[in-house]
Amino acid sequence: MKSRGEFGFIDYIKTHFPDQAGVIGIGDDCAVIPAGEGELLFSTDLLMEGVHFLRSESSPEDVGWKAAAVNLSDIAAMGGTPVATFLSIALPKDAQGEWAERFIEGYTQISRKYDVPLLGGDTTSSLRDIAVNVGVLGRCPSGKRLIRSGAKVGETIYVTGPLGDSAGGLQAILKGIDRIEDVEILINRHKRPVPRVFEGKVLMETGRVGAMMDISDGIASDLRHIIKASGVGAVVALDKIPCSSQLRSVCAGQDWDIYELAISGGEDFELLLTGPEGLKRYVEFPLYAIGQIVAGDDLVWTLNDEPVDSMYVGYKHF
Amino acid sequence: MKSRGEFGFIDYIKTHFPDQAGVIGIGDDCAVIPAGEGELLFSTDLLMEGVHFLRSESSPEDVGWKAAAVNLSDIAAMGGTPVATFLSIALPKDAQGEWAERFIEGYTQISRKYDVPLLGGDTTSSLRDIAVNVGVLGRCPSGKRLIRSGAKVGETIYVTGPLGDSAGGLQAILKGIDRIEDVEILINRHKRPVPRVFEGKVLMETGRVGAMMDISDGIASDLRHIIKASGVGAVVALDKIPCSSQLRSVCAGQDWDIYELAISGGEDFELLLTGPEGLKRYVEFPLYAIGQIVAGDDLVWTLNDEPVDSMYVGYKHF
């Protein structure tokens, strides 16, 4: 497909995100949004070809979905409601036609699912690699946003869903293993992560959560952020970390270390939070209790109630 | 210089942008800002190595300055006040140490000059090219923001300063001409553009401006956005477009077409606006009248009051 040119591409994007009353979206120097009430949340994530995705492995639609998903997840992590996204995209010559339009299809799918308009951004050329930056604006009632520093001694540590699927899917891609059905499910979890926007908002509304964040770098790394910010320690039972039946089955077949994938593998985008023992009573979705916040500043892993050495660390980019 | 690692780099950035009361900045899943009053403005720009800057030609400090400047200019273009910026940066291995820290120095210089805190962002690795995305949040009293669609027949077209310097500076770099003092001044205008934040706000406050935008792609391209959005035409006198004495001197010496640089050259980041004939009386900085908004939908260029063919077009990325 021939490229429509930069301004043609912007017009193409606009057909997917029509104007909204009271808001100025794509097409002026800035987007304009009424300030509204409460507090504003803002987050941004940059995805680079070759680091975050491979054109040979991820469809443009998948990259578009994921670029928005990881940002919506940051709003979910604070218990907020996403209001708008902003997309900057740098495209080398061979991605300016079909690739770009299919990317917008995937971006539009998730934007519609969460009812979040794209209100602005930037389009530019790139010498070699595709770069995609998404910014997201959200809202939360004043003082209600859930941050990393709120964990208190005695609280239970929860996650909202199984961990390790995304890392298992990535490993399956990288090792080129047979794509039986269980493997495809893991790969789909890697390519089309589901931000826990609904769950985050409900958890915020309970008023009972201590600290919350989303699991993007792997729980071993992410939980350290919570205990450092909160000035507490944590004990986590490896054997209580939820893992999907698909991950169990694939790890058994491939002789992969399921704990390593579940603990150090990133990009599950489940929520990690602390709260009272009975928190599950206040929500209608699964919450998995995996450990306790304790005094001190250590993160201790246990297996069958015995401490284990852990060489598991989360992902750092450099 | 050895890289500090991703989290060390984030800590380094935090030392330049200390915490502010009532705001959550760098370090949680989202930045948190009180919604405040009026309207929010948001813009974002992505700079790619090899397209927007060359590591061999621009110092890291200059790239840091410009990355923030182009975004502050978008807020200025609406007459708003910048509130916060968000920085996403993708760094290849050979830019993760000294380059990255010097970039932050330049970014900090302009942020302090305009008193705008950096409140969040993303750091990641890159295979090859540096990618820098800046998002900026601004504010404006409700309904007062100046947009592109407000130009009315009979209004005068103004710019806030000389055009073509940045394009002249870029051409001087690309052609490798002798860096006499006038050339250095043009190059500095290219590398360290000055966003017209103060001027934009004052113009907004006059309540007399029809349409406004910043000149990023070249006035030939940018003025077309105004006339298309406003449903009007325009007549612009090439010989009334302000050009600096340095640009005149360098163009004469190099036999360069000064009109081409002034009209098609982008990145001057002066403001382009329409308003009543006597608008200059309401501001204390220079405003240069260069033409008129007329009925129709044509953009006509004149020289000595005679229409001239124009092959001058602004920059498109693809």
Residues on chain A touching B147 (C-beta within 8 angstroms): 24, 28-29, 32
A281: left (phi over 0), alpha (psi -120 to 50) or beta: alpha
Cβ atoms of A220 and A276 closer than 8 Å: no
Q: What pTM does this model have?
A: 0.91
Tokens of B39: 């309207």
- From CA A125, how far away is CA A128, in angstroms rounded? 9
Cβ atoms of B194 and B260 closer than 8 Å: no
- From CA A117, how far away is CA A114, in angstroms rounded? 9
Alpha carbon A228 to chain centroid, angstroms: 21
Give me the residue label for tokens 């579940």. Answer: A262
**Angle, helix A60-77 to helix A181-191, in steps of 10 degrees:** 60
Interface contact flag, A48 B316, Cβ < 8 Å = no
- From CA B135, how far away is CA B66, in angstroms rounded? 13
pLDDT score of A221 more than 60 = yes
- Please, what is the average pLDDT of chain A? 92
Give me the residue label for tokens 């606006």. Answer: B273
* A21 part of contact set with chain B, CB < 8 Å: no
Cβ atoms of A227 and A86 closer than 8 Å: no
pLDDT of residue A275: 98
d(CA A172, nearest CA chain B) in Å: 22
- From CA B100, how far away is CA B89, in angstroms rounded? 9
Could you say which residues from 112 to 141 on chain A have a Cβ atom under 8 Å away from some Cβ of chain B?
119-129, 131, 133, 135, 137-140
pLDDT of residue A194: 96
Give me the residue label for tokens 């020289």. Answer: B303
- From CA B230, how far away is CA A277, in angstroms rounded? 60
What letters, b where the CB count within 10 A reaches 16 and e where it falls short, cover A285-295? Answer: eebbbbbbbbe
d(CA A223, nearest CA chain B) in Å: 12
pLDDT score of A315 more than 70 = no
Cβ atoms of B192 and B63 closer than 8 Å: no
pLDDT of residue A7: 76
* A283 part of contact set with chain B, CB < 8 Å: no
Nearest CA in chain B to A271: B29
Residues on chain A touching B127 (C-beta within 8 angstroms): 48-51, 129
- From CA B281, how far away is CA B287, in angstroms rounded? 10
Residues on chain A touching B125 (C-beta within 8 angstroms): 48, 51, 317-318
How many other C-beta atoms lie within 10 A of the C-beta of residue B121?
25
Give me the residue label for tokens 């893991």. Answer: A186
Direct distance between the N- and C-terminal alpha carbons of chain B, in angstroms, rounded to an integer: 37
* B101 part of contact set with chain A, CB < 8 Å: no
pLDDT of residue A28: 82
Tally of CA atoms within 13 A in the half-sphere of A248 that contains its CB: 7
Residues on chain A touching B43 (C-beta within 8 angstroms): 29-31, 86, 120
Among candidates A27, A90, A140 on the partner chain, residue whose Cβ is nearest the Cβ of B46: A90
Predicted confidence band of residue A238 (pLDDT cuts 50, 70, 90): very high
For strand B39-48 and strand B131-140, is the pairing parallel, antiparallel, or unpaired?
antiparallel
CA-to-CA dists, residue B204 to A218, B68, B159, B199, angstroms: 47, 22, 14, 9
Cβ atoms of B123 and B54 closer than 8 Å: no
Question: At CA B5, angle to CA B1 and CA B6, rounded to 5?
Answer: 130
More confident residue, A62 or A312: A62
pLDDT score of A183 more than 70 = yes
pLDDT of residue B10: 84
For strand B118-125 and strand B156-159, is the pairing parallel, antiparallel, or unpaired?
unpaired
* A44 part of contact set with chain B, CB < 8 Å: yes
Q: In what order do the strands lie in the sheet with A271-275?
A: A212-214, A271-275, A156-159, A288-294, A233-237, A299-303, A306-308
Nearest CA in chain B to A50: B127
Cβ atoms of B203 and B273 closer than 8 Å: yes
**Sign of the dihedral defined by the CA atoms of residues A186, A190, A191, A192, in that order:** positive
- From CA A107, how far away is CA A132, in angstroms rounded? 11
Cβ atoms of A269 and A214 closer than 8 Å: yes
φ, ψ of residue B25 in degrees (nearest 5): -105, -135
Direct distance between the N- and C-terminal alpha carbons of chain A, in angstroms, rounded to an integer: 37
Q: Could you please report the per-residue DSSP string of B219-285? A: HHHHHHHHHHHHT-EEEEEGGGS---HHHHHHHHHHT--HHHHHHH------EEEEE-TTGGGG-SS
- From CA A176, how far away is CA A299, in angstroms rounded? 34
A287 by DSSP, 3-state: which? coil
The per-residue pLDDT for range A20-48, each reduced to its tens digit, is 878 888 878 888 888 889 999 999 999 99
- In a mutational test of the A interface, the residue from B1, B123, B133 whose CB has the highest number of chain A CBs within 10 Å is B133
**Sign of the dihedral defined by the CA atoms of residues A80, A82, A88, A94, in that order:** positive
Tally of CA atoms within 13 A in the half-sphere of A10 that contains its CB: 18
Residues on chain A touching B128 (C-beta within 8 angstroms): 50, 128-129
Give me the residue label for tokens 């209790």. Answer: A289
For strand B212-214 and strand B118-125, is the pairing parallel, antiparallel, or unpaired?
unpaired
Across the range A143-161, mean pLDDT stands at: 96
For strand A299-303 and strand A233-237, is the pairing parallel, antiparallel, or unpaired?
parallel
pLDDT tens-place values along chain B, 318 residues long: 556 777 788 888 888 888 887 888 887 888 888 888 999 999 999 999 999 888 988 999 999 999 999 999 999 999 999 999 999 999 999 999 999 999 999 999 999 999 999 999 999 999 999 999 999 999 999 999 999 999 999 999 999 999 999 999 999 999 999 889 999 999 999 999 999 999 999 999 999 999 999 999 999 999 999 999 999 999 999 999 999 999 999 999 999 999 999 999 889 999 999 999 999 999 999 999 999 999 999 999 998 999 987 655 555 555
* A15 part of contact set with chain B, CB < 8 Å: no
- In a mutational test of the A interface, the residue from B6, B9, B32 whose CB has the highest number of chain A CBs within 10 Å is B32
Cα–Cα nearest to A71, from B121, B124, B47: B121
Cα–Cα nearest to A109, from A146, A59, A157: A59
For residue B191, which amino acid is it?
Answer: K
- Please, what is the average pLDDT of chain B? 92
Cβ atoms of B53 and B153 closer than 8 Å: no
φ, ψ of residue B213 in degrees (nearest 5): -160, 170
pLDDT of residue A312: 58
The per-residue pLDDT for range A223-236, each reduced to its tens digit, is 999 999 999 999 99
Strand partners, B245: none
- From CA A316, how far away is CA B8, in angstroms rounded? 11
A87 by DSSP, 3-state: which? strand
